Chains A and B, each alone.
Chain A
Amino acid sequence: MECCNKRRMMKESPESNFMNRRGSSCFPDEVLERVIGMLKSRKDRSSVSLVCKEWYNAERWSRRNVFIGNCYSVSPEILTRRFPNIRSVTLKGKPRFSDFNLVPANWGADIHFWLVVFAEKYPFLEELRLKRMTVSDESLKFLARSFPNFKAISLQNCDGFSTDGLAAIAADCKNLTELDIQENVIDDKNDNWLTCFPESFTSLEVLNFSILHNDVNFDALEKLVTRCKSLKTLKLNKSITLEQLQRLLFRAPQLCELGTGSFSQELTTQQYSELESAFSNCKNLNTLSGLWVVTPQYLPVLYPACANLTFLNFSYAPLDSDDIAKLLVHCANIRRLWVVDTIEDKGLEAVGTHCPLLEELRVFPADPFAEGDARGVTDSGFIAVSQGCRNLHYVLYFCRHMTNAAVATVVQNCPDFTHFRLCIMNPGQPDYRTSEPMDEAFGAVVKTCSKLQRLAISGLLTDLTFEYIGKYAKNLETLSVAFAGSSDWGMQCVLEGCPKLRKLEIRDCPFGNAALLSGLEKYESMRSLWMSDCKVTMNGCRLLAKEMPRLNVEVIKEDGSDDSQAERVYVYRSVAGPRRDAPPFVLTL
């Protein structure tokens, strides 16, 4: 009876095993593909592809999702050649400091030529997730026409499109499950894009249009929500009134994530009780956001829905400490909380008291440029949260001043921080009690929090902070620095000391060519380096470019600036070579 001959697999003889004489991996193809298919994380997939050529090939054929952290690090041709079977693409474009207007308009990161290649090589593409990319209406129309299986589009911090593009997606993507538009610069032309979803269309699960400022066609929205029975996420914009919200909730009690639109309207007693009842019926709500304009006396309608909430995003809701305290009493299960600093320290005390399971806190400034006696949150609020919320591992905290002692106490209470972003809004602000630099604060963070992956530093800082970071932050991947340091030595400490560093973004620091060039070997293992308004010169950049041909060294030139200075430098590794689409103000050295 035939045995091994019937099976397709064996490349090696039956007697071979792991102790193979030729030394190459001797798994049959389907075994290798199967095992690799079980590995989902990006890190594991990268790992597998580095082990040997055979595993590299098995991995590339089985890869379905690809994440590209810098759209210029690879070209669509190279990508599609390596990974023939991709269904989902995530792409990030501009450097993060473009959020602070440090990158001029028309810099690049246009999605269009990617889509053209994908239309040919990935006709079965299902998902596209973009961050800080330029997306035109033409691109959205092209996308809607080119991919019959297209399911999910998510655009975050993108620019260049209007509601016309959304209309094209609505009209032509028959299998759409997700339309998620966040924080984008979008031209809101009309309210009719929602009417473009056909009557027969019912597959939507995620709809987020919270960033649009104009009215939408409510009738079309209500009909859409009614017929999409699988809708789980609905994030409305400011134009939706409380009465309209109630009608939508009545149609979709199955929602898990809700963005409320504004939360402000004159309600009759009847309307109030209907709204309260609508929220009571939403048994699956775990995420609440919105409240763009809030009438605090209506907040109690939310209370029945609060018990199961795990994520509360009030980053646009200027509540005061009393309002938030009364609400948080009902929110014992909160894991993630985003608030505005109008809640002040007293509000943060309420957080510490009522939300023991909290893992992530982000406190945004109501008015970052306010002068004089602006309130907000301080060191005591920070300590109060850390005392009550011992599971805290992610913090983004905007404040006007801080003390070294407070930060040391906070990390003592919560040593498991993975993300620590402290933004003292006045540049160069020292410890307000001792007038010393804030070096010891960040020293405490890196010494205590061994799992730290992301750090943003601020306040008056000397090279000592960077010495601490280089010495202790062995898991650090992302570092953001502004208005800090004393000399090149600071940047050198970080480049030489942090083995896992991937992204370094620096502005307004006294780091020059010596610092830049100390990272020669390092930059190839990093995604990117950004330096703006430092002391780097064109000659320094040219030297870097010459020594490291596999890096793209780009300088953004402003009109009328000194020719020898390199005000904005962006350095990143790339297998695609220099950019083919660079505008005139971007010089590739």
Chain B
Amino acid sequence: MTQLDRLSVYHWLNAWCIKPVGGALVRQEPEYILLALMGSPLKKIMLCSSEKEIFSVEEQVMVQHSVIINNMIEDGSYNHEESKIPLDCVDSKTLKKVIDYCTHHTHHHNDNQEDLEAWDAQFLNVDSNGLYDLLMAANYLEIRNLLDLIYGTIKNMIKGKKIDEIRRIFNIKDHGFTPEEEEQNRKEYPHFY
């Protein structure tokens, strides 16, 4: 079976297996169905972290979420048999989390809104370093929904907080205002601090 045939069968199966069948949602992992029918592995791609660790992930998953990876696959610059995509900006820990996010959202996109939001909330329950790394990775890979999620979280870290607390959360040690400017700000907006 050619690569193209495999891909089209994969897509058909994937579509089939997440539609309701006889009133119930059939949640079969596509690779098992395919294995059962074809005996060959599902289309995977290789991502390589900055620490040179290789992560194998379903092409479908990454193509759905990352504009960058989608473009690479489409323009043919990624050769399935040989290539791996080096992501020098993203460390292993972060890459694993990004893959987790994309995989969950692909396989669970029919879940109800509340469950998805709850999952997202616990997914983002990381320290500020972790959040920053995720933000950088999502920005580079252009994963829109993850980016929006993180932007919203950062917004909530700012909204309604006092200035001194915001500086502490974001570890802003040098605010960059002159001493006169800072003093004047504190005089004009005392209850913001």
Contacts and interface: CB of A to CB of B under 8 A. Distances in A.
Interface of A: 1, 3-4, 7, 9, 14, 17-20, 22-26, 28, 31, 34-35, 38-39, 44, 46-48, 50-54, 56, 499-500, 521, 524-525, 573
A162 B89 CA distance: 64
B139 A51 contact: no
Contacts of B167: 51-52
B188 A573 contact: yes
Nearest to B173: A23
Given A23-B174, A38-B152, A524-B187, A3 B88 contact: yes
A180 B171 CA distance: 47
Given A25-B172, A44-B159, A51-B175, A18 B128 contact: yes
Interface stretch (B13-21, B24-32, B108-116, B129-137): B129-137
Contacts of B163: 47, 50-51
A23 B174 CA distance: 6
Contacts of B86: 1, 3
Contacts of A573: 188
B158 interface: yes
A51 B175 CA distance: 7
Nearest to A54: B176
Given A3-B87, A17-B129, 15 more contacts: A3-B89, A17-B133, A23-B173, A24-B176, A35-B154, A35-B155, A35-B158, A38-B151, A44-B160, A46-B189, A51-B166, A51-B175, A52-B176, A525-B190, A573-B188
Contact of B88 (A4, A17, A47, A48): A4
B171 A47 contact: no
A52 B177 contact: yes
Contacts of A38: 151-152, 155
Contacts of A7: 139-140
Contacts of A17: 128-129, 132-133
Interface residues of B, number: 42
A526 B35 CA distance: 72
The secondary structure that dominates the A interface is loop
Contacts of B140: 3-4, 7
B129 A25 contact: no
B15 to A, nearest CB: 31
Nearest to B72: A1
Interface in B116-154: 128-129, 131-133, 135-136, 139-140, 151-152, 154
B158 A47 contact: yes
Contacts of A25: 170, 172
Contacts of A56: 177
Contacts of B185: 50
B192 A23 contact: no
B63 interface: no
B159 A39 contact: yes
A20 B177 CA distance: 18
A291 B87 CA distance: 69
B78 to A, nearest CB: 9
B192 A46 contact: yes
A53 B152 contact: no
B171 A23 contact: yes
Contacts of B191: 499-500, 525
B54 interface: no
Contacts of B166: 47, 51
Given A28-B139, A47-B158, A23 B172 contact: yes
Interface of B: 50, 85-89, 128-129, 131-133, 135-136, 139-140, 151-152, 154-155, 158-161, 163, 166-167, 170-177, 185, 187-193
Contact of B129 (A1, A18, A500): A18
Contacts of A19: 129, 171
Nearest to B163: A50
A525 B187 contact: yes
A31 B139 contact: yes
13 contacts: A4-B140, A14-B50, A18-B131, A26-B132, A31-B135, A38-B155, A39-B159, A44-B158, A47-B161, A47-B192, A51-B166, A51-B175, A52-B175
A18 B176 contact: no
Given A23-B171, A47-B192, A53-B176, A14 B158 contact: no
B189 to A, nearest CB: 6
A24 B190 contact: no
A525 B188 contact: yes
Contacts of B87: 3
A205 B175 CA distance: 45
B185 to A, nearest CB: 5
A3 B159 CA distance: 33
Nearest to B84: A1
B89 A52 contact: no
B12 to A, nearest CB: 31
Nearest to A521: B187
Q: Nearest 9 A-B pairs (CB), nearest first?
A: A23-B173, A53-B176, A52-B175, A23-B174, A17-B132, A3-B88, A18-B128, A38-B155, A17-B129
Contacts of B175: 51-53
Given A46-B189, A525-B190, A52 B151 contact: no
Contacts of B139: 7, 9, 28, 31
Nearest to A474: B191
A475 B90 CA distance: 47
Contacts of B50: 14
A39 B189 contact: no
Contacts of A499: 190-191
Contact of B192 (A4, A28, A50): A50
B126 to A, nearest CB: 12
B186 to A, nearest CB: 9
A248 B50 CA distance: 69
A4 B89 contact: yes
Contacts of B133: 17
Nearest to A525: B190
Nearest to A25: B172
A34 B174 contact: no
Contacts of B173: 23-24
A52 B190 contact: no
Could you say which of A1, A24, A46 has the most chain B C-beta atoms within 10 Å of its C-beta? Answer: A1
Nearest to B133: A17
A52 B167 CA distance: 8
Could you say which of A17, A39, A50 has the most chain B C-beta atoms within 10 Å of its C-beta? Answer: A50
A51 B171 CA distance: 11
A22 B173 CA distance: 8
Contacts of A9: 139
Nearest to B135: A31
B168 to A, nearest CB: 11
A237 B88 CA distance: 69
